[in-house]
A and B are shown apart, each in its own frame.
Chain A
Amino acid sequence: MPVQKFRSIEEMNKAPLPESRGSNFERFLRHCARWWAIAPKYYPRGVFKFRTIEEAQKAREKHLPLK
């Protein structure tokens, strides 16, 4: 079923997703690879320490997109 047709967005959103290749984990890895290709970021290398998860999440938000 390569092409599906819908009368509305609601109908489209309710449609089951097509079967995809490989396991869930393989899909996850492929999805991440695409994400990285589209929106690469710069990360300073090494070990960083945090007192709380919130502190770690704030540090993550500082990462810069690759120009």
Chain B
Amino acid sequence: MLATTGYASRMDRDEVMRVLRAFESAGLEYVLIGAAAMGFHGLVRATEDLDLFIRATPENIDKLRSALRAAYEGDPTIDEISSADLLGEYPAIRYVPPTGDLYFDVMTRLGEVASFETIDAEIKDVDGAKIRVATPAALYQLKKGTVRSQDHVDAAALRERFNLKDEG
């Protein structure tokens, strides 16, 4: 059910799967990072968003728009997602769909540290949908160097669970 108050109500499984299937159908080149990716690896914590890196090409950003249009039919704000921004001055965008049950942080690069091409990933299958998820080691590399306290907690959990070592 759509929220009629304009307020978020819940993270809906059907909505998440609809979007992930739309990514696959559109041929979007992406890798899931963040709490959702950690969830795939058994480190479960709550989140309000899905974080993803996408390959930074105009064609792939077209696919992102197509996928979101398929998942959230009739939302005109999707047209505001542009190659000029994501390949230029704004490498991160947040899309909050009309349902507001969850939102998406989409990135093309993280400073000089990470991009779609540099993040190791594996394919997970959920109800036949193929989902590209960052590996535990890749997540650890992304999280260990940030200033966000939640990332430090996540990095420590990943290091402990997967016996990860710092390189060098």
A→B interface (CB under 8 Å): 23-29, 31-37, 40-57, 59-60, 63, 66
CA distance A63 to B103 in the complex (A): 12
Q: Which of B41, B48, B91, B94 contacts A41 (CB 8 A)?
A: B48
CA distance A33 to B39 in the complex (A): 13
Q: Is the CB of A45 within 8 A of B93?
A: no
Q: Is the CB of A51 within 8 A of B90?
A: yes
A37 touching B10 in the complex, CB below 8 Å, given contacts A47-B95, A49-B92, A50-B90: yes
Bitwise interface map of B from 29 to 43 toward A, beta carbon under 8 Å scored 1, else 0: 000000110111110
- For the complex formed, measure the closest distance between the CB of A49 and the CB atoms of chain B, giving whole angstroms: 4
For the A-B complex, the count of residue pairs with Cβ-Cβ distances under 8 Å equals: 121
Confirm or deny: B19 has a beta carbon within 8 angstroms of a beta carbon on chain A. no
Q: Is the CB of B110 within 8 A of A48?
A: no
Which B residues are CB-close (under 8 A) to A52?
A: 91-92, 111
Q: Is the CB of A24 within 8 A of B92?
A: no
Which A residues are CB-close (under 8 A) to B101?
A: 36
What residue of chain A has the Cβ atom nearest to residue B110's Cβ? Answer: A53
**New contact pairs (17) apart from A31-B45, A50-B94, CB-CB < 8 Å:** A24-B42, A25-B126, A28-B35, A29-B11, A32-B11, A32-B46, A33-B12, A37-B9, A45-B97, A46-B96, A47-B78, A48-B94, A48-B95, A49-B90, A52-B92, A59-B94, A63-B48
